[in-house]
Amino acid sequence: MPLSGRPLRRRTVAAVSVLGLLAAAVVADPAAAGQRHAGGYAATIQRASYGVPHITARDFAGLGYGVGYAQAEDNICLIAETMVTVNAERSQHFGNAARNVTSDLFHRRAIDGGAVERLLTGPRDGIRSPSDEAREQMRGFAAGYNAYLRRTGAANITDPACAGKPWVRPITELDLWRSHWARMVRAGSGALADGITAAAPPRADGTPAPAAAPQAKAVVDARDGAPAGVGSNAYGLGREATARGAGMLLANPHFPWDGADRFYRMRLKVPGRYDVEGASLVGEPLVQIGHNGRVAWSHTVSTARRFTWHRLTLVPGDPTAYRYDGRTRKMTTRTVTVRTQSGTVTRTLYDTHLGPVVVVPGRFEWTTGTAYAVSDPNASNNRALDGWLAMARARTVGELRAVLDRRQFLPWVNTIAADQRGSALYGDHSVVPRVTDAVAAACIPAEFRDLYATRGQAVLDGSRSACAPGKDPDAAVPGILGPANLPVLVRGDYVTNSNDSHWLANPQQPLAGFPRILGDERTARSLRTRLGLLQVQQRVAGTDGLPGTGFTTANLWQVALGNRAYGGELVRDDLVALCEAQPAAIASDGSAVDLTAACAALRGWDLRVDLDSRGSHVFTEFARAGGLRFADPFDPAAPVSTPRRLAVDDPRVRTALADAVRALGDISLDAQLGDIQTEPRGDERIPIHGGWPEGGVFNMIISVVEPGVGYRKVQHGTSFLMAVELGRGGPSGRQLLTYSQSANPNSPWYADQTRLYSGKGFDTIKFTERQLRADPNLITYRVGERRR
């Protein structure tokens, strides 16, 4: 049974107001965690300001229990819905929309095939199979979640999103592993789910079977391998870039503000074994982005492709058989059935020894002669939890690099890090299919070479074993590029990444010569990448208008939330001159538009996306309409500053401005951004600063305009924000979760950090005991139970 009892510490009125949400007996001494219930679960939870839990346990089972309990207190509906998804039950509970049916078929295929169970077999060394520590965390998380659910009861959950819903149920350790697996394959087979579930042999007349796979088509059409809807900025700052010579890190992931991919702040400690502060995605039992006492790290979404295509040569007369090294192989079939609100859906899915068959109408068709399979090395990635555990124990970026080299566990992200000694690291040591330049030259058919050269998608000859995934000698597992084929950079000044490829982590030392599947090189960088680099260079030189030179956590926070729109800095004056000279324009729909008011709004704009910035939304919509077209070419020798001149003679520039005016409707063109860009929290609308990357904004906020109304709901963007300095006295700095700790509208932690973000405020790093005890809102309680 969970421990219960009378709270001992009520530090402030704010603390008293949240006690009704906490299930716990409070203990005065956090070191007492785990002394009771030998062989069971026990954890001490200290809730600091903004509801951030600091969790201490004597072992990883107890730590997982505390994390599961705390996350359930704050976000039980998000976790419960994720369990519905990975158990292939969305259509049963949330309706028969095509995306739910596709999701259920994809996950039912994985369940029936035992995909996750296979990953839990083998030696528990953290590479071939998860370690006991990782398993204990998952087991404890499930137990802690279930303890909270038992205590509360589904009918008494205070979040209306799932109160009393039949899909809120106890969870198992296997449920959590399935959820974790789904995140691993998000940029690979998971992104192709509708192409996998739509695949069917050609009809009797030889024409392709009817199929719809819009998600898979979007993946094929994308410029790189980054999964949709996520992104990030990160700085690793070394001794030469900081004011006091200590390493510093800026973490700034751009993730959805709603749903299962929200971040959750927490501090986790198993004395002597694990001690880390930061954030993870809801439903994960450990910190994924954060810091220990000497090293800090973040992740940015990588451009590398996560799967390879294999073109199959089919046997004449049998479209479900293919030739391989001169022999015939038969596809395997699996019939999967899912329940929906109107009955059942049954579909036959097709597999090869290389991976599932996929169709993308108009791109990769299944004909009488050819079909396409994909291999996704993340589908067998069971190394991630142990990898993050090992990262958290690194004492230098050198040790952290060794973890990345040995474990190769990151599914689709780069790593940016800094340490107390003042070294900074960038590396794309993520899971990347083994397509070297030699493999590409020998195995990509001529008609697909341009696709590989321009977008990094490898379509390999699926009829030869020589073109199957092989093994690099230094790779952690077969089928992926080993560390020698992956980019890494360690410097004493800085490294950055804003979701472009590895090439320009630092312009003074470009990373080049790596396999194309990782990303492009010597090509124009995004405006967000360029601004990110420029901001570092100007701060180090002291030319950004802020006092002094070099970074402190205070001015790093100012830079991150400076809300510069670099596209506007480059072209606004030329755009206004063009607009004023030719105020009559034709929109892309053929309608005539008077640009006079738009010209005036842009002339008065302060070139930022702050709450009091007027006219910024005009430039945002202009950039989104494709108006940022440059007259000068990109120069690889000047990648941060080129291109930079507006193509004033290109008629599409004026058309884009006209389209912007049309898109805004009746919204005043000189309105303040804070009056029209907001985030709802109950009846409150919180003003939100930041903007779209198309305009060159570093502080990315994606919110779609409603004509005549404004930007009423943030979709994704800046989420967890952390500026940490690794000083000799311990880590210090600032952190924030923009959408707040809880998705429950009845939680006191539903909107507090969102208001803080609106005012560019912050919470402080609380890693040392002294930092934590200085928090005036600290509440301490203990949870635990005997193992069943």
Contact 41, 144 (CB under 8 A): yes
**Amino acid (1-letter code) at residue 510:** P
Q: Which of 539, 483, 451, 563 is nearest to 243 (CA)?
A: 539
Strand partners, 300: 414
Question: How distant, in Å, are the alpha carbons of 252, 413, 699 from that of 233?
Answer: 5, 12, 8
- The tokens for 428 are 């794309």
Q: Are strands 355-356 and 343-352 parallel, antiparallel or unpaired?
A: antiparallel
Q: Which letter does DSSP use for residue 633 in this model?
A: P
H/E element holding 247?
none
Report the distance separating Cα 305 and Cα 521, nearest Å: 15
Report the distance separating Cα 524 and Cα 451, nearest Å: 18
CB proximity list for 535: less than 8 A, separation 6 or greater: 544, 559, 562, 564, 698
Contact 507, 640 (CB under 8 A): yes
Contact 477, 127 (CB under 8 A): yes
CA 443 to chain centre: 32
CB proximity list for 723: less than 8 A, separation 6 or greater: 248, 249, 250, 553, 556, 557, 560, 733, 734, 735
- The tokens for 173 are 């350790």
Question: How distant, in Å, are the alpha carbons of 298, 477, 510 from that of 425?
Answer: 10, 24, 14
- The tokens for 287 are 């910190």
In three-state form (DSSP H/G/I as H, E/B as E, the rest C), the secondary structure along 697-726 is: ECCEEECCEECCCEECCCCEEECEEEEEEE
Report the distance separating Cα 295 and Cα 238, nearest Å: 12
**Amino acid (1-letter code) at residue 456:** G
H/E element holding 56?
strand 53-56
Q: Which of 458, 406, 452 is nearest to 427 (CA)?
A: 406
Report the distance separating Cα 224 and Cα 187, nearest Å: 11
Q: How many other C-beta atoms lie within 10 A of the C-beta of residue 4?
A: 12
- The tokens for 19 are 């006690």
Contact 648, 578 (CB under 8 A): yes
H/E element holding 262?
none
CB proximity list for 576: less than 8 A, separation 6 or greater: 599, 602, 603
Q: Give the three-state DSSP class for 774.
A: coil
Report the distance separating Cα 408 and Cα 381, nearest Å: 9
Q: Give the three-state DSSP class for 608.
A: strand
Backbone dihedral region for residue 649 (phi beyond 0: left; psi -120 to 50: alpha; all else: beta): alpha
Report the distance separating Cα 13 and Cα 417, nearest Å: 39
Q: Give the three-state DSSP class for 79.
A: helix
Active site residues: 232
Report the distance separating Cα 356 and Cα 345, nearest Å: 20
CA 413 to chain centre: 8
Q: Which single residue is written with the structure tokens 């000799």? A: 728
Half-sphere CA count of 308, side-chain side, radius 13 A = 30
**Amino acid (1-letter code) at residue 763:** D
Question: How distant, in Å, are the alpha carbons of 151, 280, 606, 629, 721 from that of 563?
Answer: 45, 25, 10, 22, 14
